[in-house]
Amino acid sequence: MNDFKDKVVLVTGGSRGIGRACVLAFAKRGAQVVFSYAGNEQAANETVAQARELGAEVQAIRFDVADPEACASAVDGILKSHGRLDVLVNNAGISIDGLVMRFKDADFDRVIDTNLKGAWALCRAVSRPMMKQKGGAIINLTSVVGEMGNAGQSVYAASKAGLIGVTKALARELASRNIRVNAVSPGFIGTDMTDALPEDTKARMMESIPLGRLGSGDDVAQSVLFLASDAAGYVTGEVLKVNGGMYM
């Protein structure tokens, strides 16, 4: 349970959902966890409180991942306070859905800047310190939508498909310095948003999932833990599907 002891981990978008599950999973295993949040301070405080209930301390920092300067500053702050950074989990993301004929340029920029450019900016920010350490792990949270597409989500799909490309390119670029770069691609995950969906909508979702259930944040977090761990020491450039079989 202490396999991440003395490891420093940054999880973006850690105040709720999959990000919170990742924060708590790393904290349980002895990591020093820093997580980012965009604006929901109450949710961030809830994550901190849940970590304390587990006997762990985590740190919440507020910054916008869509701002490359803020990304660089956040990483610099972690290095100054903790001395190193071993794992980056790029989880923060947004979805603005809409048919292509009606989609606004400003919304396109918001999705790409957050989901793709922001993740890339953080990869850039951690690459130099990880190279100096001669080791590290980066896990990018993509989506089944980035692999198979979905009507009304062309921009979200583009951002997540682009993140797969970034993952594979950086896996090749950074491998010589013992930095592994992988992605986790969740399917339909149970969240407050999916809980609020009409029953007939949820039933149709279930029909597309061979395992017959929605995934949980912890399902995803366990896959992130594996890719960040020494158990995955010979795994890089991989996209690990966590979707209950809906896309193979």
Q: List residues with catalytic annotation.
A: 156
Q: Radius of gyration over alpha carbons of the chain, in Å?
A: 17
Sequence-separated (6 or more) residues with CB below 8 Å from residue 53: none
CB 168 within 8 A of CB 155: no
For tokens 């999973």, what's the residue? Answer: 25
Q: What angle do CA 75, 164, 19 make, to 5 degrees?
A: 50
Q: Which residues of 57-93 are buried (b: 16+ CB within 10 A; e: fewer)?
A: ebbbbebbbbbbebbeebbeebbeebebbbbbbbbbb
Q: Give SS3 for 29.
A: coil
What are 184's strand-pairing partners? 141, 240
How far, in Å, CA of 216 to CA of 20, rounded?
12
CB 224 within 8 A of CB 184: yes
Q: Please tell me what DSSP assigns to residue 138.
A: E
Determine the longest span between alpha carbons in the chain, in angstroms.
53
